[in-house]
């Protein structure tokens, strides 16, 4: 069971099974098969930056001004040393004033650069998170069978935070250092071609370890993010089942499993950190070693009168700028590599294609059920169980207003009927019609708008009682909410809550009993006022008194509606117009309760063995 959050509310996407996958353990096959140059992955983010071209242009202008101001300081130093400190110089104040003007320009340009780049970073990451979450909501349950929720949440939080750091800071710093490096190098050559040539001889030895270690950092960063996702998944799964964990005294094993995941993540992180540390150390050694050698040569020229002190001073300044830029770029390279890995994981998620989509020209189903529902020779298997059919040659016609009960052993395919009717999946063969329209040719939203679902395991959001009921129809009035709660026999216990309809239910409705959760879910369905009512043993968690009250509400709700009931209790079955017995994905019998009980059928056996209210009713029949 997977939980996602939108608009202050949580949406739970239910699937038949959630399995661990290769995606949780190592880079996916898609990643392996599409190796791009490292930074082209970051270019995938351009579409999110594109709407803010003006802000980006402003940041680039400020960046250029800041870099130019920094480089002008070197020229100011040369003038000061060569002319400002000369005996009898009258221009000392002007030189210092000029230097101050350059510093002020540098300060204001740096402010503008930092503000604009940070704004773009925050804005883009907000857009990315919204885009990823919006896309996730389009994915059908088959995706969640193959991907753990913790993996998705890790990408939505941890990966986006990495990218936020890069867009809001590292890219700006990288561009600034590139400009400083290029400008500083040009001025080094202008100031002293001889000394600059010595510096350039060292550059290949600096670039080589950056490339080698950078690739290693990127690979380790991707693996590190995958390991963090597994930590998140493990914690998410355990905390959602905390009562079960404690009831089975499983805490110690859960701690051990989580600790192992954390330690694995730590070991991978240390490898990444070691690679980045070596990268930084090697670059510093080479860069400052080269500077030491170059300064020695320059100082010798000054002593011998071949170079002025101002020229050497400005050369030293530019050498420091170039060296600092190279050192910063070596560190930022590692961050950009990590962001490239995070971007790859996010784009992988955004590139997931929803299997259930509306056609370009969807057929209109309508807002009323006029012609009924028809399953026509439907065959279906779940993505994780390709060799095990869930439904096979399944044909069933349901008339408008008819109440049909689906019975059969566990795993027979009853819930699959609901899943296909809600178009969470498309069948591999055959098709399903509503009002004579193949639902695969209609908009999924229009199809689902006709239905109201009450699952066996009720979905309660961490919100107020009112908003939980309003989830069925957000535009309903207060009076309609109260009427729905009364019809579901929920108003009595709601009125006893500390704040009535404004009472917060807590995570997954942990403050409610099973019966109270079920009544809230029924109230939600009643408020929705659907054409097709889907009841997955809607009264299974209720006590006898509540069940009697809710059964009365459901009978009223079912009048004039087409209702499909997954039933395990005989009391539910008795009120059905027709009972469909399903086994191994096929219809093996159908008829009324009395007709089926007269046969030596699977239904009769189920009634005798499983229906917990069946003994008295069986005696009557």
Does the pLDDT value for residue 534 go beyond 70? yes
What does the pLDDT read at residue 572? Answer: 65
Mean pLDDT of 349-366: 79
CA distance linking residue 351 with residue 508, whole number of Å? 30
- Interstrand relation of 578-583 and 403-407 (parallel, antiparallel or unpaired): parallel
Using CA atoms of 557, 539, 388, 393 in order, give the dihedral in degrees to the nearest 10.
-30
CA distance linking residue 593 with residue 591, whole number of Å? 7
- At residue 390, what are phi and psi to the nearest 5 degrees? -85, -35
Pair 423, 614: CB distance under 8 Å = no
CA distance linking residue 20 with residue 23, whole number of Å? 8
Pair 394, 585: CB distance under 8 Å = yes
What does the pLDDT read at residue 538? Answer: 67
Q: Domain 38-350 maps to which CATH number in 1.20.1560.10, 2.40.50.100, 3.90.1150.10, 1.10.357.10?
A: 1.20.1560.10
- Interstrand relation of 373-380 and 391-398 (parallel, antiparallel or unpaired): antiparallel
User: Which superfamily is assigned to 374-450+561-621 in CATH?
Assistant: P-loop containing nucleotide triphosphate hydrolases (3.40.50.300)
Query: In the chain, what are the helix, strand and coil shares in percent, each to the nearest 5?
Result: 65, 10, 25
Cα 408 to chain centroid distance, Å, stands at 37
pTM over 0.75: no
Mean pLDDT of 5-26: 36
Classify burial at 170, counting beta carbons within 10 Å of its beta carbon; exposed 0-12, middle 13-18, buried 19 or more: buried
What does the pLDDT read at residue 327? Answer: 67
- Break the chain into its structural domains and give their ranges: 38-350, 374-450+561-621
Pair 448, 422: CB distance under 8 Å = yes
Pair 318, 70: CB distance under 8 Å = no
Confidence category of residue 549, pLDDT binned at 50, 70, 90: low
What does the pLDDT read at residue 32? Answer: 43
CA distance linking residue 157 with residue 233, whole number of Å? 13
pLDDT in tens, 481-509: 888 888 887 888 888 888 888 888 867 77
Mean pLDDT of 353-375: 83
Confidence category of residue 89, pLDDT binned at 50, 70, 90: low
Count CA atoms closer than 13 A to 354's CA, side-chain side: 15
């Amino acid at each position: 069971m997977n939980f996602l959050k939108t608009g202050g509310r949580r949406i739970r996407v239910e699937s038949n099974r959630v399995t661990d996958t290769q995606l949780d353990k190592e880079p996916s096959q898609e990643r392996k098969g599409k190796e791009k140059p490292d930074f082209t992955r970051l270019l995938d983010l351009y579409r999110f930056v594109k709407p803010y071209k003006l802000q980006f242009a402003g940041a680039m202008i400020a960046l250029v001004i800041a870099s130019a101001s920094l480089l002008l300081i070197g020229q100011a130093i040369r003038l000061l040393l060569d002319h400002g400190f000369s005996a009898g110089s009258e221009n000392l104040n002007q030189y210092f004033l000029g230097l101050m003007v350059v510093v002020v320009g540098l300060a204001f340009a740096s402010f503008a650069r930092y503000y604009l780049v940070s704004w773009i970073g925050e804005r883009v990451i907000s857009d990315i998170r919204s885009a990823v979450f919006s896309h996730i909501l389009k994915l059908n349950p088959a995706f969640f069978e193959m991907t753990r929720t913790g993996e998705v949440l890790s990408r939505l939080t941890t990966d986006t935070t990495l990218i936020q750091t890069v867009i809001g800071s590292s890219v700006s710093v990288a561009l600034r250092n590139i400009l400083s490096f290029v400008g500083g190098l040009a001025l080094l050559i202008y100031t002293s071609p001889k000394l600059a040539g010595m510096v350039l001889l060292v550059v290949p030895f600096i670039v080589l370890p950056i490339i080698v270690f950078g690739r290693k950092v990127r690979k380790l960063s991707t693996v590190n993010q995958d390991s963090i996702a597994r930590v998140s998944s493990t914690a998410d799964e355990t905390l959602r089942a905390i009562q079960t964990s404690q009831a089975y005294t499983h805490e110690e094993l859960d701690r051990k499993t989580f600790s192992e995941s954390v330690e694995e993540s730590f070991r991978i992180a240390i490898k990444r950190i070691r690679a980045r540390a070596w990268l930084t150390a090697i670059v510093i050694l080479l860069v400052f070693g080269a500077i030491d050698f170059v300064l020695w040569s320059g100082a010798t020229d000054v002593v011998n009168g071949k170079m002025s002190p101002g020229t050497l001073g400005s050369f030293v300044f530019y050498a420091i700028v170039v060296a600092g830029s190279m050192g910063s770029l070596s560190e930022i390279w590692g961050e950009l590599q990590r962001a490239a890995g995070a971007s790859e994981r996010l784009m992988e998620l955004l590139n997931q294609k929803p299997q259930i989509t509306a056609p370009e020209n969807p057929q209109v189903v309508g807002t009323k059920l006029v012609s009924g529902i028809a399953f026509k020779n439907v065959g279906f298997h779940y993505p994780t169980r390709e060799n095990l059919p869930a439904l096979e040659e399944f044909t069933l016609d349901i008339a408008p207003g008819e109440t049909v009960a689906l019975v059969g052993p566990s795993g027979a395919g009853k819930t699959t009927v609901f899943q296909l009717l809600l178009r969470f999946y498309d069948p591999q063969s055959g098709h399903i019609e509503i009002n004579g329209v193949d639902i695969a040719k209609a908009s999924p939203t229009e199809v689902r708008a006709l239905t109201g679902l009450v699952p066996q395991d009720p979905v309660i959001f961490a919100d107020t009682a009112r908003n939980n009921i309003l989830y069925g129809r957000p535009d309903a009035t207060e009076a309609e909410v109260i009427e729905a709660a009364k019809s579901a026999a929920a108003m009595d216990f709601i009125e006893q809550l500390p704040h009535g309809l404004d009472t917060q239910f807590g995570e997954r409705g942990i403050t409610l009993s099973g019966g109270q959760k079920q009544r809230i879910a029924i109230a939600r369905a009643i408020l929705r006022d659907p054409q097709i009512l889907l009841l997955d043993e809607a009264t299974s968690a209720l006590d006898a008194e509540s069940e009697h009250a809710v059964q009365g509400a459901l009978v009223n709700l079912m009048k004039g509606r087409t209702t499909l009931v997954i039933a395990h209790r005989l009391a539910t079955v008795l009120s059905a117009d027709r009972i469909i017995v399903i086994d191994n994905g096929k219809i093996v019998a159908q008829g009324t309760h009395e007709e089926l009980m007269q046969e030596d059928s699977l239904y009769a056996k189920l009634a005798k063995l499983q229906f917990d209210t069946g003994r008295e009713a069986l005696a009557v029949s």
